[in-house]
Amino acid sequence: MTVPAGLPGRLAAALRTGRFAVTAEIGPPRGADAAGLRATAALLRDWVDAANVTDNQGAQVRVAASPGASWRSPRAWTRSCR
């Protein structure tokens, strides 16, 4: 796999250098309050290269993955890949 040199983020760097990439899956909350999602992401920030916010987890109504992941800010989480 070829990863472009200008692609930012820890996941891109791991893939580019062949280092083992660590990813995590974050389940969205059962409602519109993303505070729990933010807290989980903050705990994982220094341990993973990328995180995935699941969509329609367990076929239960939850906050959608896109809005759930949109809380990101440069201070809390860096963009891994586009």
DSSP E strand boundaries for 1-82: 23-26, 50-53
User: Which has the closest alpha carbon to 27: 10, 44, 11, 15?
Assistant: 44
pLDDT digits (tens, 9 = 90+) for 40-67: 989 999 999 999 888 766 666 666 666 6
- Percentage above 90 pLDDT, the chain: 32
Report for 3-12, 13-22, 51-60, 64-73: range of highest mean pLDDT: 13-22
Residue where the block lists tokens 């969509």? 55
The pLDDT of residue 67: 62
Could you give the CA distance from residue 82 to residue 80 in angstroms, rounded to a whole number? 7
Report whether pLDDT(81) > 70: no
More confident residue, 9 or 64: 9
The pTM for the full model equals 0.62
Longest CA pairwise span in the chain (Å): 40
Contact 49/23 with Cβ under 8 angstroms?
Answer: yes
